[in-house]
Every structure is written in structure tokens, then in C-alpha cells.
Structure 1
Amino acid sequence: MYTLVTIADVVQINPSDFNKPSERAIEDWINTKYADKVIHEVGLCVGFHSLLSASEGLIGNGTGIVHVNVDFRLVVFRPFKGEIIRGTISSSNDEGIHMSMGFFEDVIAPRGLLFSPSTPEADESGTVWVWRANENEFWFDRTEKCLMRVEQEVWQDLSPQMKKLDEDFDLESRDIYGMRPAPFRLNVSMGLTGLGPDLWWLGEDAAVAEEAAEAPENLEGTNGVEAAT
């Protein structure tokens, strides 16, 4: 799910950061530029991992900004094809189910990758998919936690340069899943035994117990997740 990638870049350290140790100033600059950003056909950058090398700094004429050539590693989110990941159903429409992983929202289970036969049904909250098997109904209810299998990566270059190449390109437009264009999206399947809502396979009591065990506030000796410093 997570990989390390090596990047080369020119770090710019402002005079206001001269009070920091050099490595800390470089790390802060890298995290500001890359964290929570998608690099095309690389993945979603989670954060800085390690500094491999750094050149001597060169001071810019008239600005005081120090330029440093660096090689470093980033932690990147990019699940491999066939990997089983966990997410929560956030919404549905007639074309499929929109999943959320909390930190990554661009996950789709298209209608053709659900258990067959599955059909969309309308209720008071919108569209809900239902799998009917052996006279039983299994519902893909909103907010249900699910296991899903990665089937395809979908990349789209949303850089300003690419936007200028197409005068009709509109960042506000929606695709058939009701989603805005995303630089990186995962298409997943929920059509194999063990996939889909936990409730189907574990039973209600077991699913609730598993969710409670995973909650940070219920872990002994912790009070939730602390921010990195």
C-alpha cells in the first residue's frame, strides 16, 4: 500500500528559517511542497522519509534565499493491483459506489465490479446497491466499512499546462460517478467472497467489536493519534 520513492529537487530555504537546523529546514520545505499532493503516475505523497544527499547552499542575489540541491525519499500511497484495502461507503449512484479511506477519497467500485446480480435501489438517503443471492438481500449501506480489491489505477493530468491544451476542460465538471476530476483514482471490486461490508461476513456483533478494537481512543495507554512534530 505504501512505497518509498526517490525524488531530486532544489530546496529553497527562506531567511526566516535560518534559525532551524539545516536538515529540519529542508524537511519542512519538502513536506510543505509534497505532503498530501499527487505526483502523476507515482502516487499520493504522505510525507518525508529520509534525506539522501544535499549540496552546499547557494544564496540568491538580493533575496537571501538559500538554494540547495537535494535527493530524498518520500512515503507514497499507491496500492498494487490485487491488493485488499479497507474503506467506508460514502455515497452511491446508478454507476457504482463511492468509497472513502479517510485520507483518500477517490475510490470507486463500478457497477460491473460488484457482486452479481447487484442492482441500485432508491431510498430516503439516495441510491443504495443491493446484492440478491439465494432469496437473500445484502445491502451496501452508506457508512458501512468494507474490504475491497484494487483493480485499476486511473491517472489524469490536472496541471495548468494540460488545462490550457483543452479550452473546454472544466475542473468543476463531474464524471459518471458524480465525482470531480481527480489526478489519481482507484477502481476497486467487491465481487469476491470476503469482500464488501464487514457485517456480511463477520456478523453484527463481531463487526462492532472489530471497529471498537480499532478505535484509537480504545487502545490502552493512548488518547488518540498525536500530530507529528
Structure 2
Amino acid sequence: MFILSKFTDLLHLPPPTFAHPTATALEDRINEKYANKVVHNIGLCISLYDLSKVSEGMIGQDGGAHVNVEFRMIVFRPFKGEVLTGRISSATAAGVKVRTDFFDEVFVPAAGLFEGSRFDGKEQVWIWHNDDQDFYMDKNEVIRFRVEGEVFVDQLPVPPHLKGEESSLHNKPPYAITASCQQAGLGLVSWWVEEEEDGEEGE
């Protein structure tokens, strides 16, 4: 689910940061710039892991220092086939939207749900019919899913003359995950709790 990614950047440290140790000032600047942000084709940066190399600072016209830094970030980028848990955010006829504690862009398309699933448009909920029973995928329920793919969208700055206009490109999240729930143990965690408990009692 998490990986370490190496970055190189030229960071600017304004004069007020000189009162702090250089490493502390750089760590704060890196987290401010990268933490909780998506880097294209890398993933969602969580926080700084460590500093690898720090150059001598070059003083600029504003009196601040420009420092070349190599560092590693903890990045959220699950691999294909990895099983994760989250909570259902919403549902449409197209599928189920899922969120984790820090990432909101997980989508399970209708084709990725169990066979026998149907969408109730009135209740806005997916229902899995199995063994003559209906299992509801209600909002905020804990769901276990399998990662099937990822999509990165390079969100370029919007030109001034286009600001305020609808843009399908800029309405898309910079990083999204597609998932499935088609194997035993996947879907709502509550569906399988009783079965798991019965198995433990039989051991």
C-alpha cells in the first residue's frame, strides 16, 4: 500500500527559517509542498521519510537560501491485486465510490461487483442477492476490495481565459483507483464476520 519514492528538488528557505536547524526547516518545507498531494505517475505523498543529500545554500536576492535536496517520501500507491478496506461513500448505477482514511478516489464499477448484484435507484444502494438473501451495500459500511488498476490525470494550470468554464479534464481527480469485489471475503466486511467466527469455533 505504501512505497518509498526518491525526489530531488530546489527548495527556497526564507530568512525567518534561519532561526531553525536547516534539517528542520527543510523538513517543514518539503511536507508543506508535498504532503497530501498527488505527484503524477508516482502517487499520493503522505509525509517525508528522510533527507538523503543537502547542498550548500545559495543566497538569493530576497536574502533567502536556495538549497538542492534529495529526499524520500512515504507514498500511497497500492499494487494491482492488493486487498484494502475502506468505507462506502456513495453509489450510483455505474458502481460504488469508496474512501479510506486519507484517500477518497476509489471506485468499484458495476462490472466489478458480485454476480447477482443490482442497483436500487430509489434507495441509491447496491444489493447482492445470494442464497435467497439480499445483502445491502449501505453508505458508510466497511468494505473490503481488490485493487484492479489506477488512473493518473495530469492537471495542467487553467488558462485565464478558460477559468470559470467547465472542463472535464479538470473535474477528474489527479489520481484514482479502480477496484473489484468479486471474490470470497470481499465486499462488506460484515458479510463474512459470522462465517469467519464459525470457522474459528470449528478449529
Asked if TM exceeds 0.5, the reply is yes
Q: Which residue of structure 2 aligns with residue 18 of structure 1?
A: 18
Q: Which residue of 1 aligns with 2:147?
A: 150
1:106-125, aligned counterparts within 5 Å? Answer: 106-123=105-122
Please show how residues 116-135 of structure 1 align to structure 2 within 5 Å.
Answer: 116-123=115-122, 126-135=123-132
- In the other structure, the counterpart of 2:68 is 69
CA–CA separation in structure 2 for the residues paired with 1:128 and 1:103 = 23
Letter in structure 2 aligned against 1:93: T
1:203 deviates by: 3.3
Alpha-carbon shift at residue 136 of structure 1 (Å): 1.4
Q: Deviations over 1:137-156 (max 9, x none)?
A: 11111111011000010111
Q: What's the CA shift for 1:159?
A: 2.1
* Secondary structure of 2:114 counterpart: coil
Partners of 2:52 and 2:137 lie apart in 1 by: 46
2:2 pairs with 1:6: no
3-state SS of paired residue (1:25) = helix
What SS does structure 2 have at the residue aligned with 1:30? helix
Deviation track 1:181-219 (CA, whole Å, cap 9, x = no partner) reads 100000010111000111100039x7xxxxxxxxxxxxx
Who is 2:193 aligned against? 202
Pairwise CA RMSD: 2.3
Corresponding residue of 2:200:
none
Aligned to 1:170: 166
State how far apart, in whole Å, the 1-side matches of 2:81 and 2:175 are. Answer: 17
CA distance in 2, matches of 1:193, 1:98: 20
TM-score, normalisation: structure 1: 0.80
Verify the 8 A CA contact 2:6 2:72 in the aligned structure 1.
yes
Q: For residue 102 of structure 1, report the CA deviation from its aligned partner.
A: 2.0
- Can you give the 5+ residue segments of structure 1 that lack an aligned partner in the other structure? 175-179, 207-229
**Equivalent-residue separation in structure 1 for 2:192 and 2:139 (angstroms):** 17
Distance in 2 separating the partners of 1:85 and 1:76: 16
Segments ≥4 residues shifted beyond 4 Å:
none
Percent identical pairs in the alignment equals 39
SS at match of 2:103: coil
Unpaired runs of at least 5, structure 2? 198-203
- Output aligned runs, 1:73-112, within 5 Å: 73-112=72-111
